[in-house]
Amino acid sequence: MISRRLNESPVHVTLIDPDKQPPGRAAEMAVQAEDGGTHILLIGGTTGVDAQKLGATLCAVKEVSDLPMVIFPASSTSISCHADAIFFMSLLNSRDVRYVVREAARASLELSRSGMEIIPVGYLVFEPGMLVGRIGDVDLIARDDIRTAQEYAKATELFGMGFCYLEGGSGVSEPIPSGMISAVREVIDIPIILGGGISDAAKAEEAVRAGADIIVTGTMVERETDIEGAVRDTVSGMVRGWKDRRTN
């Protein structure tokens, strides 16, 4: 059960976007991330990922890695029988009802028949949001608007979603501030997934210390030549942050 793994802390997730490299390269990245100690592979991207591209990357990765593979869907067509699980997501602060619920509803019957593990995730996008902010027509949460973030996060929990995903936007220079993460942590008990701008161990450590349970890194893995080393350092930073959090 991937949800059970995600409920342990801290969990490092490597995001692989099938639109960014050919399947063979994605497989190499997965092996190096696995050797560095990542726990889960998240496969998907905001644009340019059709079912064929998604399936090809999942198949290539499956041949070389035993890590659980979770789909990070962009729409109702982001489904593949080659994955182990899928984030069943609602982009709660989108202005477009398609991203709040319509795409999820469209996928729901096929998903429930697929046998794939379905992981319900409330997805909240913060400034600057980057590509997902634009494509998702997001009413971005300001980085210092603690009240709005807490309200959305609490709604995520009250809706019964298992995970609250705080997204700063892929490729952003700085992750969501630690003060914002800890403010969200104060009002919910469900695990917090944090993504966007985690580019080194220190940032991962700070985010986990503040209250993130699961860290997603994408750009770091795309840019690094030593993926294994970068992931290993990031995981070590997360463990340090987690120990501090437990003792404070």
Residues engaged in binding ligand 1GP (CB under 6 A)? 15, 167, 170-172, 195-198, 216-220
* Residue number, 55 or 175, with CB nearest to ligand 1GP: 175
* Residue number, 16 or 188, with CB nearest to ligand 1GP: 16
The minimum distance between CB 15 and ligand 1GP, in angstroms, equals 5
CA 142, CA 129: separation in Å to the nearest integer?
10
The minimum distance between CB 247 and ligand 1GP, in angstroms, equals 28
* Residue number, 147 or 207, with CB nearest to ligand 1GP: 207
CA 53, CA 21: separation in Å to the nearest integer?
10
The minimum distance between CB 224 and ligand 1GP, in angstroms, equals 11
* Residue number, 167 or 206, with CB nearest to ligand 1GP: 167
Q: Give me 133's structure tokens.
A: 């902010």
Q: Are 54 and 81 in contact (CB under 8 A)?
A: no
The minimum distance between CB 153 and ligand 1GP, in angstroms, equals 16
CA 66, CA 235: separation in Å to the nearest integer?
19
> What is the amino acid identity at position 81?
C
* 111 Cβ contact partners less than 8 Å away, ≥ 6 residues apart: 79, 86, 88, 118
As a 3-state breakdown, the chain gives helix, strand, coil percent values, each rounded to 5, of 45, 20, 35
The residue number with the shortest CB distance to ligand 1GP is: 195
The minimum distance between CB 130 and ligand 1GP, in angstroms, equals 8
* Residue number, 23 or 195, with CB nearest to ligand 1GP: 195
CA 123, CA 205: separation in Å to the nearest integer?
22
Q: Are 10 and 214 in contact (CB under 8 A)?
A: yes
